[in-house]
Structure 1
Amino acid sequence: MNILVLGAGALGAYLGGRLLEAGQNVSFFVRQKRAAQLSIEGLKINSPEGNFESRDVTICTSLDEVGNIDVVILAVKGYHLDQVIPQVQTIVNQTGAFVLPLLNGMEHMEKLHHAIGNEKVLGGFASIVATLNQHGHVEHTSGTSTFKFGKLHEQQTEICEKLEVLQSQVKTKLVREENILKSMWKKYIFITAFSGITSAMQLPSGFITSSEATFAVAKKVVLEMAMLAGREGIILTEKEVETAINTLTGFKKEATSSMHQDMRKGLSIEVEHLLGGALRLAAKHRVAVPVIETLYGILKPYENGRLNM
């Protein structure tokens, strides 16, 4: 199978590296700066799931360099989505490839459906805590990683079957989900709470339960997000909601969200894609989400990186 990873940040480089390690035909579509870094440093993963390094990495920076592709793994941040959609459109038109987006949130799905058609967009998401170090190497800091995918259209059955075959070959959990849409919402609920609270606190996960008041805020974000899911037709049981709340407490004390890591580095953060997206859904359904609105207001000034005072 011919796989193009669009975006080689920590997420794209990790999954793309694992697929490359498994012998798949993988290429990376990246910007010039990242291409130069990969050319010099190679692709390197430091991970509890096993280290990997390769200097034999196929890199594309121009659409003319993209050849025969079966699936595009879209692994960019939400704030880069609008920039890359024209590239995704061209690649799909040229190759007929399917697109597996691994973005957080849900707003990207509607944008991709509009750009390339419902039948071309798989459902999917990633569960991993990773970042790039100063050399552009992946530092995987959570104990495990999981990448889930599933069909949202009957025309996607065959490509999902091909992806499913890879799960026994890669050093990560590559899981096919029958109800991928519900699973995507569960991830959206969790990551909005986890990213929002760690970034607003500017502290790692161990501090979520350091005070009853702080944990109450995190729980209220989960409840507000679960309510929005219900308005969108995704009904969660009380047990599923409770599991999402409990998951917030299951990390090592020093672990934190990717948003908080980006914030500490002075990088752009996905406040608009996650919390802003939730606010737009709330407005659509004419419901109030006061805790999400408050976290959005706290984090919005950091959207484009470190503040210059």
Structure 2
Amino acid sequence: MKITVIGAGAVGGYFGARMMEAAIDVTFLVREKRAEQLQKTGLRIHSNFGETHLQNLQLATHPDDIKACDLVIVAVKNYQLPNAIDSIRPLVAKGAKVLPLLNGIEHYAVLKEALGVDAVMGGMCQIIATLNESGEIVQTGPVHDLFVGPLELGQENLGKLLREACAGANMSVTYREDILAQIWQKYAFITSFSGVTTASRLPIGELLACDAAKRVFHNALSEMSALAESKEVTLPKGFADYILAMMNKLPKESTSSMHQDLIKGLPLEVESLQGGALRMAAQSEINLPTISTIYGLIKPFEHGSIL
């Protein structure tokens, strides 16, 4: 299996590196500046699951440099997607399917319109990772899981092949027929988690130690469950309580990538997460007061600002 990873940031770099460790043919399609950095330093990961430093990476800066590809893993931020589509389209024309690992829901409609319904599979990941100042990947927390599944008939085999290819990789890959429900669970969680940690500027331990902040988190999760229900997707019963129980098991310093981006003064995915939820809620004619408040508190920092 030949895999192209669009973006060698925290998420794409991490999963791409773990696949390379398992002898999977991986090419990173990146911008020239990132390519120069990786050629010089290699790809280094600091992780609870083991350190790794890979050199002699297969790098490309233009899709024409990639002669064959079975699967394109899209691991960019939502605000980078319009430019990424121009790089994905030639690979799809060569027969590749697309596995998005972006946060949110709305990007599926964008990708399907640009690339065709049959080209886009269902994907999501569970990982807490960021890039440090040296461009190295720092992974924390107890999970480094990738989920894949079909959104259309005919995509099943490739999803299962990916799972089999990654059987020996230092990561978890799960094939799910109900991938859409899994994507919604991730979306409901990350919209709430990123929202409360970023708006409060607190890691999860300090946030949960405050009853008032904990209630805000619970309310956000409950609202996202209601939004999923309005879209005919049922999240597990007691979803909000389950997530809070899971959060109590994380290291107290754990936080969201959006909170980390805020601290670094980087652009935030507020429109694809909280903004997307509000747009879908308007379509379903339901109110999300907690999500709306969180959106208003984060929106001023959307384009990046040093605190």
TM-score by length of 2: 0.97
Residue by residue over 1:78-121, the C-alpha shift from the partner in whole angstroms, topping out at 9 and shown as x without a partner, is 1111221122122211x110000001110111111111122111
Which residue is 2:195 aligned to? 196
- What percent of counterpart residues are identical? 40
Take 2:255 and 2:89, find their aligned partners in 1: how far apart are those partners?
34
User: How is 1:81-230 mapped onto 2 (pairs within 5 angstroms)?
Assistant: 81-93=81-93, 95-230=94-229
Take 1:270 and 1:250, find their aligned partners in 2: how far apart are those partners?
26
Take 1:100 and 1:175, find their aligned partners in 2: how far apart are those partners?
13
Take 1:198 and 1:240, find their aligned partners in 2: how far apart are those partners?
19
Take 2:141 and 2:306, find their aligned partners in 1: how far apart are those partners?
28
SS in structure 1 of the partner of residue 123 of structure 2: strand
Which residue is 1:17 aligned to? 17
Which residue is 2:32 aligned to? 32
Matched residue count: 307
Which residue is 1:66 aligned to? 66
Give the drift of 1:16.
Answer: 0.4
Take 1:130 and 1:172, find their aligned partners in 2: how far apart are those partners?
14
Which residue is 1:7 aligned to? 7
Give the drift of 1:239.
Answer: 3.0
Deviates more, 1:134-143 or 1:102-111: 134-143
Which amino acid counterpart does residue 48 of structure 1 have in structure 2?
N
Gaps of 5+ in 1: none
Which amino acid counterpart does residue 77 of structure 1 have in structure 2?
K
Give the drift of 1:248.
Answer: 3.3
Aligned partners of 2:128 and 2:256 also within 8 Å: yes
Which residue is 2:299 aligned to? 300
Which residue is 1:260 aligned to? 259
Which amino acid counterpart does residue 3 of structure 1 have in structure 2?
I
Take 2:240 and 2:179, find their aligned partners in 1: how far apart are those partners?
17
Aligned partners of 1:204 and 1:254 also within 8 Å: yes
SS in structure 2 of the partner of residue 145 of structure 1: strand
Aligned partners of 1:41 and 1:136 also within 8 Å: no
Take 1:17 and 1:294, find their aligned partners in 2: how far apart are those partners?
38
Take 1:26 and 1:98, find their aligned partners in 2: how far apart are those partners?
15
Aligned partners of 1:167 and 1:175 also within 8 Å: no
Which amino acid counterpart does residue 174 of structure 1 have in structure 2?
V
Aligned partners of 2:218 and 2:240 also within 8 Å: no
Residue by residue over 1:97-147, the C-alpha shift from the partner in whole angstroms, topping out at 9 and shown as x without a partner, is 000000111011111111112211111111111111122111111233111
Residue by residue over 1:218-269, the C-alpha shift from the partner in whole angstroms, topping out at 9 and shown as x without a partner, is 0111011111101111012423343234333331111111111111111111
Asked whether 1:54 is paired with 2:54, we answer yes
Aligned partners of 1:30 and 1:61 also within 8 Å: yes
Take 2:300 and 2:249, find their aligned partners in 1: how far apart are those partners?
29
SS in structure 1 of the partner of residue 281 of structure 2: helix
Which amino acid counterpart does residue 61 of structure 1 have in structure 2?
T
Take 2:302 and 2:187, find their aligned partners in 1: how far apart are those partners?
19
Which amino acid counterpart does residue 290 of structure 1 have in structure 2?
P
Gaps of 5+ in 2: none
SS in structure 1 of the partner of residue 266 of structure 2: coil
Take 2:128 and 2:13, find their aligned partners in 1: how far apart are those partners?
13
TM-score by length of 1: 0.96
Residue by residue over 1:143-180, the C-alpha shift from the partner in whole angstroms, topping out at 9 and shown as x without a partner, is 33111111111110221121110232110111111211
SS in structure 2 of the partner of residue 4 of structure 1: strand
Give the drift of 1:307.
Answer: 4.8
Aligned partners of 1:166 and 1:174 also within 8 Å: no
Which residue is 1:281 aligned to? 280
SS in structure 1 of the partner of residue 141 of structure 2: coil
Residue by residue over 1:198-235, the C-alpha shift from the partner in whole angstroms, topping out at 9 and shown as x without a partner, is 10111111122222111111011101111110111101
Take 1:20 and 1:169, find their aligned partners in 2: how far apart are those partners?
11
